[in-house]
């Protein structure tokens, strides 16, 4: 199953006049409200990753997590995935 195409946006809840929650449009359900900072961060990440294959992105994230804070390991993870991360479909 493919994910919902970008761009995603944040939308206010508006369920009550004092509600400060947001949801992610067009993918959120009414029970998926969250603080604006969280919704904004998720939307920014999804939109920045537009065109990157999900499996490649998952493997890259796993490699970066495994590298920890070791700069050489991080560079190796980036180098390993650089071509795949930036060969985006337009």
Which residue ranges make up each domain of the chain? 9-48, 54-86
| Sheet hosting strand 9-12, strand order edge to edge | 9-12, 21-25, 34-35
pLDDT at 90: 42
pLDDT digits (tens, 9 = 90+) for 12-53: 877 777 777 777 776 655 556 778 888 888 888 888 888 888
Alpha carbons 38 and 59: distance in angstroms, whole number: 23
**H-run or E-run covering 41:** helix 36-48
Q: Closest Cα partner for 38 from 27, 23, 60?
A: 23
Q: Closest Cα partner for 33 from 19, 13, 4?
A: 13
> Model's pTM, two decimal places?
0.64
Alpha carbons 9 and 61: distance in angstroms, whole number: 23
Top mean pLDDT of 5-14, 17-26, 58-67 is at 58-67
């Amino acid at each position: 199953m493919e994910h919902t195409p970008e761009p995603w946006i944040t939308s206010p809840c508006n369920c009550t006049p004092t509600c400060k929650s947001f949801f992610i449009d067009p993918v959120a359900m009414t029970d998926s409200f969250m603080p604006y900072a969280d919704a904004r961060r998720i939307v920014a990440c999804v939109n920045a990753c537009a065109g990157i294959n999900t499996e490649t992105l998952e493997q890259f994230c796993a490699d970066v997590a495994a590298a920890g804070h070791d700069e050489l390991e991080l560079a190796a993870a980036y180098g390993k995935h650089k071509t795949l991360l930036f060969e985006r479909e337009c």
